[in-house]
Amino acid sequence: MRTSAPRRALGLVALCAILAVVAFLSVTQGSRSIDLPEVLRALGNLGGDQTIDSTVTIELRVPRTLLGILAGAALGVAGAILQGVTRNPLADAGIMGINAGAAASVVFAVTVLGIRGIGVSVWFAFAGAAAATVLVYSIASMGREGATPVKLALSGAAVTAGLISVTSAIVMTDIDALNELRFWQVGSLAGRYAPVLTGVAPFLLTGLVLSLGCGRALNGLALGEDVARGLGQRVRLTRAAAFALVALLAGAATAACGPIVFIGLVVPHLARFLCGPDYRWILPYSMLLAPVVLLLADVIGRVAGAPGELQVGVVLAVLCAPVFVGIVRYARLTEA
């Protein structure tokens, strides 16, 4: 689908407006019914006396919404970068062992160091995700050809399988590790309060700002390594920098929210459908579209599961699976 630059820019403006509406819904809607005037009163009286409803709004829903925006944007951009740098339309954070590395690190923190609580284990999850990314890229870089897309996929699958096996062996014999991992691995925005948000926000914001400069390099890689080299691009350096950004973005988001599936896989395809194959537009489109999808799924989970709630990872799997099937069918039709 080819679109002109003004129409693409107008699409970004429309996505900003949609994101604002969904963020407002995320703050005002939930398993606990709070009247809209009470929500507005709480937002306008941040330093005053707080009721239960205002506490829920300010201390629970606002940080949850902000984290959903940042984490969603990070996962969407990370998925777009991965699909561009590996030239694999099915690439997502799992291909680099990010989820497996974060899970293994959380289990290590529980079983070896005796650490409990999401506020502390988030840092171990981030470190594990980054370490797994470095390991995958280091293995794939061995040999004369360097880190080719095929070697990256194979290295990621091997590292992921190994880490999952070790993690499963530990949690099956340690009930504390099992409980801690189960809380983190469900993939959720619930229970992620202000300390978690402020802890990962600098990493997410830095990665998002840096990622906006990757569009031209990803366009070169999309043409093939030989063409990219002919255009003067340093392919290995570009690929290493791209993977470092993915480790920063997806690692921090996964550490804070758990392994939220489908965002990094489906959103870049939707962005590509809306704005075309130019990564200079795919990246900002993914940055805005992903939090819209994530927050909308979170709101649906809270409203549909009241008085409890359905975790956002579960809702996304239900919503995005048929969408991804439709994307695959559309791609086949356009190729035919």
CA pair distance 26, 89, nearest whole angstrom: 31
Contacting residues for 51 by C-beta, under 8 A, at least 6 apart:
38, 42
Q: pLDDT of 151-164, one tens digit each? A: 888 888 899 899 88
Is the predicted pLDDT of residue 261 greater than 50, yes or no? yes
pLDDT at residue 285 in the model: 96
Q: Per-residue pLDDT for 227 more than 80?
A: no
CA 152 to CA 146: how far, in whole Å? 10
Per-residue pLDDT for 81 more than 80?
A: yes
Number of separate helices (H) and strands (E) present in the chain: 15, 0
**Mean pLDDT of the 288-297 span:** 94
The residue that leads in pLDDT, 20 or 149, is: 20
Q: Is the pLDDT reported for residue 336 higher than 70? A: no
Does the pLDDT at position 242 exceed 80? yes
pLDDT of 171: 80
Is the pLDDT at 80 greater than 70? The verdict is yes
Contact partners, residue 216, CB within 8 Å, separation at least 6: 279, 280
* pLDDT confidence bin for 78, thresholds 50/70/90: very high
Is the confidence at residue 331, as pLDDT, over 60? no
Domain chopping of the chain, boundaries: 1-69, 93-258, 261-273+281-288+300-336
pTM over 0.75: yes
pLDDT at 75: 93
Considering only residues 239 and 43, tell me which one the structure prediction assigns the higher pLDDT: 239
How far from the centroid of its chain's Cα atoms is residue 292's Cα? 12
* pLDDT surpassing 90 at residue 177: no
Of 263, 260, 92, nearest to 192 by C-alpha is 260
- The CATH number assigned to the domain with range 93-258 reads 1.10.3470.10
Q: What whole-number percentage of the chain has pLDDT above 70?
A: 90
